[in-house]
Amino acid sequence: MMRAIVQRAYGTCDDLRLEGIDEPTPGPHEVLVRIRAASVNRADWLVTTGRPSILRVGLGLRRPRVAVRGRDLAGTVVTVGGAVTGFGPGDEVYAETTTGSFAEYACVPERLLAPKPTNLTFEQAAAVPLAAVTALQGLRDVGQVQPGQAVLINGASGGVGTFAVQIAKTLGADVTGVCSTRNVALVRSLGADRVIDYTREDFTRSDPRYDVILDLVGQHPLSACRAALTRTGTLVLASGNGGPVLGPIAGYITALALSPFVPQRLRVLAAKPSGRDLEALAAFIEAGQVTPVIEKIYALADTAQALRHHAEQHARSKIVIAVATPPPPAAARQINDA
């Protein structure tokens, strides 16, 4: 048996329960990981609520098919399936998994695992996978960022945004971050060349034009975002609100339909878990080019509170769940409000 945060029906954070369930058994290509830490992502909130409703087509119509919440993890290999060749018991690893990570153990496909960066704690490493891979794929693969380009990150202080600022700088871009007043210093500390406080300035109405915009907020009309691009610039859409049924999908369809008829590239980011990309990120992290930023660390029993914090309090950077040990008093680059 193991402890896990389980969800039996769509609803709110109050529907999450800490329960004892069976420990998973790895298949031939899977690795059983003893989880030391996990982290909270917007995806966890979306699954908890089941909104927008179209998500239920893939997640489960009446209840989530995967009962355990969470996607990011960092921990130690316990045992491996018979076909696994790259990992062995005792290895320190990190990954994004689809089988739930707010638990003491998880089975992870070998292709999604990577060795944990040697200079990170488990708590720091758990903050990386989904958010950093999303940022990397959005900038490197979809945005095709090149050295010297002007790149704008809208939502620069969030989980994905804090990684995106650092990765864009690592790729050689001139980076502008957009955030609220309280987060200007944070975004500047990550290496942004310019920071726009959206409460005082609308980047879509400013003079600078950008080669690549990574939009992690989705609050501006498509036409306004296009106006902030260079003539042949690239807009990467990675979020949005929309209605309770389709969410941002209608906006995505509009952008994709328009893209062939305009000189600008309008793209939608659909990030995928990748052990190979985690290895690339580990190289950035170990070289000191990228560092996770943690706002707060919660214990596993307080996961519902952590998810509520993330969803309702406009969390900065990452919220982490300490699974195997009590939350430490501090972590490198952890945000203090004192």
Q: Are 28 and 49 in contact (CB under 8 A)?
A: no
131-268: CATH topology is Rossmann fold (3.40.50)
List 154's β-bridge partners, or say none. Answer: 178, 215
Cα of first residue to Cα of last residue in the chain, in angstroms, is: 40
Location of each CATH 3.90.180.10 domain in the chain: 2-128+292-322
Q: Please give the helix or strand (H or E) that residue 170 lies within, else none.
A: helix 159-170
pLDDT digits (tens, 9 = 90+) for 21-44: 999 999 999 999 999 999 999 999
> Would the pLDDT of 329 be above 80?
no
The residue with greater pLDDT, 132 or 57, is: 132
What is the pLDDT averaged over residues 245-251?
81
Confidence bin at 324 (pLDDT 50/70/90) = confident
The residue with greater pLDDT, 329 or 196, is: 196
Sign of CA dihedral 99, 101, 107, 112: positive
pLDDT value, residue 36: 98
pLDDT value, residue 325: 54
What is the pLDDT averaged over residues 67-75?
97
Report for 48-57, 146-155, 235-244: range of highest mean pLDDT:
146-155
pLDDT value, residue 338: 35
d(CA 272, CA 284): 19
pLDDT value, residue 256: 93
Among 250, 246, 251, CA closest to 224: 251
**What's the Cα-to-Cα distance from 87 to each of 90, 248, 282, rounded to whole Å?**
9, 39, 16
Is 78 in a helix, a strand, or coil?
A: strand
Phi/psi at 243 (nearest 5 deg)?
-85, 175
Q: Are 123 and 328 in contact (CB under 8 A)?
A: yes
pLDDT value, residue 313: 65
DSSP 201-264: --GGGSS--EEEEEESS--S-HHHHHHTEEEEEEEEE-----BTTTBTHHHHHHHHHHGGGSSS
**CATH match of 2-128+292-322 with 3.40.190.80:** no
> Would the pLDDT of 144 be above 80?
yes
pLDDT digits (tens, 9 = 90+) for 178-190: 999 999 999 999 9
d(CA 72, CA 130): 6
> Would the pLDDT of 292 be above 60?
yes
d(CA 39, CA 72): 6
> Would the pLDDT of 225 be above 80?
yes
